[in-house]
Amino acid sequence: MNKKFLSLVLALVMVLGTFSSVFAAPAEKKETKEAPKAAETVVPKLTGKKAKIDWLKDRGYISGRKVNEDPKNNDLALDKTIQRAEVSKLLVFATGNENKVDALKSITIYKDVALNYWANGYINVGSTEPSKANNLPFLLGYPGNVFKPVNNVTYAELAKMLVTLTKTDLTKAMHDQANKNWPSQWMAWAADLGIFDDVTVADANKAVNREDAFTMIFNAMYRLKEIKVMPANETMGILSQIKNGEITINQGEKAKTVKVTANTTFVLYDRSSNTNTLDVNATRIAQRVVLADLLSNPSYYYGSLVRVLVNEKGEATHVLELGNPAQLAIGNCDNNDNARWEGVADRTIETRDQVTVDRVTYPAIRAKVNYKEGDAKSISFYEGRSLNSTDLKLTAATKYFVADVAKNQLTEVKDVDEALRIVGNTMAAGFIEKVYAGYNVVDGVEKHETSSPTAIQGYNEATVVVFNKVQKDNNGEVTLRVKNDVTSKYNITLEDVDGKEVIADVATYRGGFPNNFNADKLDVIKWTNNNAAGIGIEKMIDHSKTERYPIVKVIDKDGAKLVVEDKLGNTARLVVDSEADIFLNGQLKEGALIQFRTLAGNVPGSDATDANTVDIVSVMPNGIALAGVLQGVVLDNQGNQYYAKNVKAADIKEYNGTNNHYKVIVNQLNSFYNTDDGVKRDLVWMSKSETEDLQAWLKANDDNANIRYKLKDNVQGNENEAFDLEVLYGSKWLPVANAVAQKAADDKAAQKAALDAFNKKVAAVEDATKLADQAAFDKAAKELKALVDEFNALKVDKLEKSDVDKAKADLNVKIKALNDAATAKTIKTNPTVAEIA
């Protein structure tokens, strides 16, 4: 007989007591049988139901049901039926998967199987654990997501379970097709595999009796002698990546990668509910059980603390989510046992923001690590501002994790000190956000149980602590310049500030198609590579947008100070920040063409330091031309341009010389770069035409102007004549004459709009002939009085006289009609309305 079945005995030995509890009623304690010897572990070739059942019975694999007070007088009840839940437990043990039951008994898959149902864990394992023969689970529920655990198993159902466990060439497609042709195909396969040897099936849909069930199971076990069963392996950590058919737990030295198959079962938390409960994790919604090939957006679960079961092939069979950065600890966090965490911790606790439920406000919970003599001894979870806290002892066995997806910190760390260095907990109080922990409760001893009459206090012992908000970045951020665009193989060539090439693979880019990667040649980007979030870029200089990132020429360089000139001859002073990224540093010199980015992001604002200090300089290669202008990019810094604020009409004085000029006090706000003159001035000279334009603007703009101008030599050797005068109108700089004309047109349009609105209000006033009582007359009179005031406020000088006259006439018609109607009805209008003269 084939000896490969030797390893299966470990599972069958476990069945020794299992069959008794599954098939038998509780019995009195009896003499324990020895486990089968290794020589007896091979299932022999037997014929006849009795021989097969006796073989199982003699070796203690099954026992009967107690029929009287004599514990030795048991009845196998071979003519009775067997329930689906009982068969589930039996077959889980028989296939060596009993060690996975604890990990899955804290969840529910079927809506008719309660969490505390005795066979829940066995049903979950049978429904998710793939058969070693064909990678398919042997259990399947009914439509409507029910299992019907107390239903009697039929011949067809048991045949289907045993075929799934033993048929090595069974595929998912064959499985699904057989279910469509239920149950003929399953019955045929069972017959071919010898599962019906010594069993006669008259009706496949009839409940199988225990005699036939034991016989069929023996036949399947004999068939399984060729299957090598190995114990499962478990790992726990932070889910950091799922790609290329693999799942990675943790990062760096702590990383462990295992294979993921289409049947890997993810037991996840359903984050779709918004139910407002105090414990946001305990009662919102049940978990979801999802096969890997149906898992949508796997990166959504990066940062989750998970337990992973792995088979002998290195394949993940189950992934159980215990917590995640959004919900923190999953399950019950209200000082009761957390069933989901069974095997890891008795209970869980977490921080939270202040929350209001059913009009009751619950204070925030904060965490703090406590040190004594330089060592971290405990972590406390404080509720509100009170001193009440839940304290967890930190031990050598406590595991610590950091799980911040944005910062790419997704791993186990060696101790709490390493965790806090990553967390960057710099607050004076030492309180930490987004923390959850699993802990065991170690009970104390009452004083009457001690040798001395003193009670021994119990305590809480942390098994796992997870920090979900950190400051230390692990994204590997670096500033690079694009040297060549993305190729058809999804490679892109970048370069660092020294010109060293960096070849990057953008196949995993998530912002769109890799060939539409958001970076073109000569763009400067900040590049990050996050295991969870994937490749990311932040565009720092968009080479094509020269209106914002002009290409200018360096005409003077004095250390970190630059003078640059744009295509129109405008010049500006720039200062290169000491930590600026310069592409390429050795080429930044006079005559070089550059693009740059200021601390203000090339949006001037009002801060001269941010607006004119650059943190990125990109030296252009040969063949690139000047483009764009400096105006609107740095702070009002067009070449040879000066700026003065709040100029008044009184600041303009007539010059008594012969050159027909005026002098203007300017009180300059800023003095910008001028190759000939950098001296700050408090007055300038203007020609008569420039001065008259400025006076017209001051008259139209309430005697106030912000101006800018250039200087030239003139006025009998005085080198301070202002020309190209511009004024600030709204947010735009315009030549003064243009600004005056624009403002006049805008004012006229605004007044015309006001007049149109006025006319509509006049037309809407109720016809006086329709007014019936004092209240109606008073209302109409009040409306007309308000319209008189509105008309008088109009700037009629900016409107056409005919339009004004018509509006006035229409209003007077309404007023006269009201007054005449009031007189005819002897009603006194209040207030009195006089016509407009």
Average pLDDT over residues 599-605: 87
Provide the mean pLDDT of the chain. Answer: 80
Tell me whether the CATH fold assigned to 478-541 matches the one assigned to 552-619.
yes
**Residue 620: what pLDDT?**
96
Residue 299, pLDDT > 60, answer: yes
- ∠ Cα 362 366 368 (to 5°): 155
Residue 56, pLDDT > 70, answer: yes
Average pLDDT over residues 209-236: 74
**Residue 642: what pLDDT?**
67
Residue 585 vs residue 344, higher pLDDT:
344
Does domain 552-619 fall under CATH 3.40.50? My reply is: no
In which band, very low, low, confident or very high, does the pLDDT at 231 lie, cut at 50, 70 and 90? very low
- Of the listed ranges 13-22, 244-253, 472-481, the one predicted with least confidence: 13-22
**CB contact set of 772 (below 8 Å; sequence gap of 6+):** none
Residue 288, pLDDT > 90, answer: no
**CB contact set of 294 (below 8 Å; sequence gap of 6+):** none
**Residue 65: what pLDDT?**
52
DSSP 792-817: HHS-GGGS-HHHHHHHHHHHHHHHHH
**Residue 237: what pLDDT?**
95
The answer to whether 122 and 137 have CB atoms below 8 angstroms apart is no
Long-range contacts of 36-39 (CB under 8 A, 24+ apart): 36/9, 36/12, 36/60, 38/6, 38/9
Average pLDDT over residues 361-366: 86
Residue 278, pLDDT > 50, answer: no
Whole-number Å distance between alpha carbons of 640 and 663: 20
Residue 248, pLDDT > 80, answer: yes
Residue 106 vs residue 658, higher pLDDT:
106
Domain residue ranges of the chain, discontinuous segments joined by + = 4-226, 232-474, 478-541, 552-619, 642-729, 742-824
Structure confidence by residue, pLDDT tens digits, 128-173: 888 888 888 999 889 888 999 999 999 999 999 999 999 988 998 9
Which 3 state secondary structure label does DSSP give 347?
strand
**Residue 13: what pLDDT?**
27
Whole-number Å distance between alpha carbons of 113 and 577: 66
Looking only at the bridges linking them, the beta strands covering 534-541 and 246-249 are unpaired
Residue 1, pLDDT > 60, answer: no
DSSP 691-736: HHHHHHHHHHTTS-EEEEEEEES-STT-S-EEEEEEEEETTEEEEH
**CB contact set of 744 (below 8 Å; sequence gap of 6+):** 700, 798
Which option is the CATH number for 478-541: 2.40.50, 1.10.101, 1.10.357, 2.50.20? 2.40.50
Tell me the angle at which helices 774-793 and 736-764 cross, rounded to the nearest 10 degrees: 170
Residue 315, pLDDT > 70, answer: yes
Residue 96, pLDDT > 80, answer: no
Whole-number Å distance between alpha carbons of 655 and 573: 34
Tokens 């080429």 belong to: 587
Amino acid at 2: N
Structure confidence by residue, pLDDT tens digits, 654-682: 765 556 788 887 765 443 444 344 445 56
**Residue 629: what pLDDT?**
84
Residue 60, pLDDT > 80, answer: no
Choose among 355, 409, 694, 713: nearest CA to 532. Answer: 409
Whole-number Å distance between alpha carbons of 247 and 237: 11
Residue 241, pLDDT > 90, answer: no
Maximum mean pLDDT: which of 47-61, 324-338, 638-652, 703-717: 324-338
In which band, very low, low, confident or very high, does the pLDDT at 466 lie, cut at 50, 70 and 90? very high
Residue 105, pLDDT > 80, answer: yes
Residue 226 DSSP one-character state: G
Whole-number Å distance between alpha carbons of 780 and 789: 15
265: exposed, middle or buried (C-beta count within 10 Å: 0-12, 13-18, 19+)? buried
Question: Percentage of the chain with pLDDT > 70?
Answer: 78
**Residue 293: what pLDDT?**
64
191: exposed, middle or buried (C-beta count within 10 Å: 0-12, 13-18, 19+)? middle
Residue 670 vs residue 325, higher pLDDT:
325
Choose among 550, 517, 520, 519: nearest CA to 624. Answer: 550
Amino acid at 684: V
Structure confidence by residue, pLDDT tens digits, 480-517: 999 877 665 667 788 999 999 888 766 555 555 555 56
**Residue 120: what pLDDT?**
92
Structure confidence by residue, pLDDT tens digits, 718-752: 557 888 888 888 878 889 999 999 998 998 898 88
**Residue 29: what pLDDT?**
35
Residue 10, pLDDT > 90, answer: no
Structure confidence by residue, pLDDT tens digits, 365-415: 989 999 988 889 999 999 876 667 899 999 988 999 999 998 999 999 999
Instruction: Name the maximum alpha-carbon separation found in the chain.
Output: 138
